[in-house]
Amino acid sequence: MADEETVNGNGEESPTEKSQQKKAAKYDSGAADLEKVTDYAEEKEISSQNVAGAISAIGDRRNKAALEKQERENELLKVSIKKEDVDLIVREMEISRVVAERTLREYHGNVVSALIALTN
């Protein structure tokens, strides 16, 4: 009998059936909208996790680079240089004493190599 109520004798749906389908469609579209919202929220959570991971990776790289730089500075301080060599570089190249000392240390106290590096 339910089939007889929804379908007329000529095969068409009754007006009550059409209104029920419209109501169902409204509820379904609301569910689809809700799905979109939850999908967006999930993507946002994933995105924030990726950002946090990227920030920590950048921080780790900076810390590693700073540590390597400090180790390099400590190694350079161990290199012995002569005061006369530093004075020569400062006088001839007209640069600061700090730059002259650093360059001389980088080239292990070799004045000629330091001067060549400073002229290039």
Give yes or no: residues 17 and 72 share one domain: yes
59-73 as b/e: b if 16+ CB within 10 A:
eeeeeeeeeeeeeee
Determine, yes or no, domain membership for 6.
no
How confident is the model over 34-78, as pLDDT tens digits?
Answer: 666 666 656 666 666 777 888 888 999 999 999 999 998 888 888
Give yes or no: residues 68 and 89 share one domain: no
Instruction: Record the pTM.
Output: 0.47
What pLDDT shows up at residue 3? 46
Give yes or no: residues 96 and 66 share one domain: no
Give yes or no: residues 85 and 50 share one domain: no
Query: Which range among 12-16, 19-23, 39-43, 102-106 has the greatest average pLDDT?
Result: 102-106
| CB-based contacts of 97, cutoff 8 Å, min separation 6 | 86, 90
Rounded CA separation 77/5 (Å): 97
Last residue of a domain, one of 61, 78, 95: 78
User: Is the model more confident about 10 or about 99?
Assistant: 99
Average pLDDT in the chain: 77
